[in-house]
Amino acid sequence: MKRYIKLFKAILKINLKNIMVYRANFFLNLVDSLVWFVITIIFFNSIFNILNNINDWNIYEIYILIGISELIKSLIFIFFINNLPYIPTLVNRGTLDYILTKPVNSQFLLSARKLDLGNIGNIVPSIFLIIFAHLQIGQNISVISILYFFILLIFSFLLSYSIWFILMTLSIWFTKVDNAHELFLGVMPLMRYPASIYQGVSRIVFIFVFPIILISNVPAYALLNRFEIFSTLILLVYAIIFFIISIFFWKFALKYYSSAGG
């Protein structure tokens, strides 16, 4: 474990040095993140100019949901947006060999070798939006609820990563899986909406098959004092199961990988 902490520190140091070299790109990424954040808020404000609530969620409760979804998105983008989408390219060019021959866990190195620190720009506004919305709601929140929220946030992060990594692992067999990457990014905006609006087939798909809406909704329940034991258990169990699947699926996929040297 100490070895990987030391390795991650080295990766972080390299990425910080890159920021100093490419400062313009870093600040452009910050601005881009902030612009899309503001656009999202404007979009939902426009909805609430017409509606009083969305399935009994008022605008401030939706703000909490938006803040959490943007926070999770920013975290997974910081760690993985410069890594996971490029797995098919590494496979196609045979440059995956360079990672596989390193004396470290290949999944770890493949997932976290390049950081996108420009996505930090959304973290502070997301936290501010969550705090602002909660103050407007006026609910008391205990230290236990906050701790519970952060635990759920970790599991949401783990589930997001695991789903994304499993999808991109398919590139070992299907070299043209860019659409899988786009699929993941395409469904991420669904996290901004209450789980209660999804009914029938869509509810089954986005909770039990592709559990994207649990990622933001379950942590939101903790902050809103809505203890949903069933949804919470699904998130916890799914995060652990999907992560274990990602590990074994990667090891299984590597048996079918043809390296550049044949």
| pLDDT given for residue 34 in this prediction | 82
Better-scored residue on pLDDT, 80 or 138: 80
pLDDT(19) > 60:
yes
* Lowest model confidence (mean pLDDT) among 1-10, 34-43, 191-200, 243-252: 1-10
Tokens for 148?
Answer: 């519970």
Query: Residue 76: which pLDDT band, with cuts at 50, 70 and 90?
Result: very high
Determine if the pTM surpasses 0.85.
yes
Instruction: Answer yes or no: are the C-beta atoms of 202 and 50 closer than 8 Å.
Output: no
Query: Residue 5: which pLDDT band, with cuts at 50, 70 and 90?
Result: confident
**Exposure string (b/e) for 66-97, b if CB count within 10 Å is 16 or more?**
bbbbbbbbbbbbbbbbbbbbbbbebbeeeebe
**Half-sphere exposure (Cβ direction) of 83: Cα atoms closer than 13 Å:** 22
pLDDT(202) > 80:
yes
224 beta partners: none
pLDDT(145) > 90:
no
| pLDDT given for residue 2 in this prediction | 76
Task: Give me the residue label for tokens 């950081």.
Answer: 115
pLDDT per position as a tens digit, 82-136: 899 888 888 888 888 888 888 889 999 899 888 888 788 789 899 999 999 999 9
| Domain residue extents for the chain | 2-254
pLDDT(246) > 90:
yes
How far apart CA 178 and CA 187 sit, in angstroms, is 15
159: buried, middle or exposed (CB in 10 Å: 19+, 13-18, 0-12)?
A: buried
Instruction: Answer yes or no: are the C-beta atoms of 70 and 39 closer than 8 Å.
Output: no
Q: Three-class SS of residue 54?
A: strand
Better-scored residue on pLDDT, 1 or 76: 76
> Where does the chain have alpha helices with state H?
2-21, 23-48, 59-80, 87-93, 96-100, 106-112, 123-137, 143-169, 178-187, 200-204, 214-223, 229-254
pLDDT per position as a tens digit, 165-191: 999 998 888 766 666 777 788 888 888
Instruction: Answer yes or no: are the C-beta atoms of 167 and 85 closer than 8 Å.
Output: no
Better-scored residue on pLDDT, 196 or 157: 157
Instruction: Answer yes or no: are the C-beta atoms of 79 and 109 closer than 8 Å.
Output: no
